[in-house]
Amino acid sequence: MYTLLLIINIIAAVFLILIILMQTGKAGGIGGVLGGGGGSDQLFSTPSGSEFLRKTTIIAAAIFFISTIGLTYFGYREKIRTVTSQMPQAPVSAPSAEAPAPQAPTGAPAPAK
């Protein structure tokens, strides 16, 4: 289960990075970096394209966060199981039936006979 979550986490992280880079910002997005004359800008420049990228980013981020929480849970569970199995078990002793006798305080006078 841990390996499956790790693979999902890595794929979601890479996908999230690519989706964020595809979005246009003040610098023009990844289309300007790759030398595209607007091919990717035309595809995602419409309001529906912008909405599509926004929703895809939200879904990818949710998958990334959920898989990260799952990895933390399963990783911590295995670590706790290992630590507790290596701890020495303290012997359990039964409580003593005898109550200790009360002792007189050290500075008090001796009881009268």
Please enumerate in sequence order all residues whose Cβ is within 8 A of that of 20, keeping only pairs 6 or more positions apart, or say none. Answer: 57
Q: Are 15 and 88 in contact (CB under 8 A)?
A: no
CB atoms within 10 A of CB 110: 6
What per-residue confidence (pLDDT) applies to 25? 66
What pLDDT, on a 0 to 100 scale, did the predictor assign at position 46? Answer: 53
Residue 36's pLDDT is 54
The pLDDT of residue 86 is 73
Which residues of the chain register pLDDT less than 50? Answer: none
Could you tell me if 25 and 17 are in contact, meaning their C-beta atoms sit under 8 angstroms apart?
Answer: no
The predicted pLDDT at position 52 comes to 87
Tell me what pLDDT residue 17 has: 93
Q: Letter for the amino acid at 107? A: G
pLDDT value, residue 110: 64
pTM attached to this predicted model: 0.52
Write the CB contacts of 13 (distance below 8 Å, at least 6 apart in sequence): 64
